[in-house]
Structure 1
Amino acid sequence: MSNINADVEFAIRQFLGREAMLLDNGRLEEWVGLLDEAILYEIPLRISARKREDEFPRGAFRMHEDMAMIRKRLERMGTAENWAEDPASRTVRTVGSIFVEADEGDGVFRVHSALSLYRQRAIDRAYEWIPARRIDLIRVIDDGECRLVRRTVILAETILQTPNLAVFL
């Protein structure tokens, strides 16, 4: 039986909005608090292919991180060796087309969303736009609090127009 209702959808939408705000404001330690300990954050490699089912080679990822790797990444971001984010990116995330597709059981819901990320760094006049779709597994706890269990980011581009993926999507 599906437990998708207005309260669940509202909690998920609020969660995604809060997450975008935390990331845009560089509040990464607070953002980590939104992650489930079993988090899997992945960005599969996408190639140009004639058929859509051939666009994602099995086992090929731009990123494939668990909680330990995410924490290590955040730790590294706080050091002087964080050249990818020196100067730090200024970002604006727009999250839309949110669709709660399925109740996976145990309070976990499969959620689809579209992400448009604007990114600019310090004195650079150039900016980057990173469009993507996301497929999330989000756990909704009884009080409406949410935790991100899994995120799969499907980048629209096969050839990235950004020099790095140092920001979370």
Structure 2
Amino acid sequence: MTEKQVLNRAVVEDFLYEEASLLDEWRLDEWLEMLTDDASYYVPPNDAPDADHHDTLFIVADDIHRIKSRVKRLKSRHAHAENPKSKTRRMISNVRIRSVVENVAHVTANFVVYRFRRHEQIREYVGRYEYKLAIDGTQLRIAERKAILDSEELARLGSVSIIL
């Protein structure tokens, strides 16, 4: 986002598409640069998508330190669930800016993440993202990222070892 650009759906879409590309290409260090210093990443349980991570068991409830640890682990050849790395392809749609309050854009988008691994069935993770995007001068940064899965049966999806 340049100084002359106004925050609009196209700007947010480009940002989310870049994020999807970085994750699909396993450029996780570059993805980390898109996050604020106090970012969080959540995947709530499918039976309580609006629950609070402080009193409900989430699939993922990471603060920035846990996010960095997750990335370090995923990049390691000792991460057996991702060695060799899965191939993923993300589809992002229905991007909406819900509100902008004090330099934070509240954004939602639908997603499908396809995960391919040798000798495993194709996994399809479908749901919606809820973002809090910090407007930092001329750039956007992810302050909070929530991936809410639509699946009714999580066991069929297998382990969620990738960043959704």
Superposition TM-score, scaled by structure 1 size: 0.84
Which residue number corresponds to residue 151 of structure 1?
Answer: 145
C-alpha spacing 1:55/1:101, structure 2 compared with 1 (3 Å): closer
Q: Unpaired runs of 5+ in structure 1?
A: 1-5, 48-53
| Cα RMSD (Å) | 1.7
- How many Å apart are 1:162 and its aligned residue? 2.1
What does 1:1-169 align with in structure 2 at a 5 Å threshold? Answer: 7-9=6-8, 10-47=10-47, 58=52, 59-105=56-102, 107-121=103-117, 123-124=118-119, 126-143=121-138, 145-160=139-154, 161-169=156-164
Superposition TM-score, scaled by structure 2 size: 0.87
1:39–1:150 contact (8 Å) kept in structure 2: yes
1:46–1:56 contact (8 Å) kept in structure 2: no
Deviations 1:76-106 (A, max 9, x none): 223332011122110000011000000121x
Answer with 1 or 2: which has the greater Rg.
1
Q: Unpaired runs of 5+ in structure 2?
A: none
Aligned residues: 155
Aligned equivalents of 2:59 and 2:153: distance in 1?
12
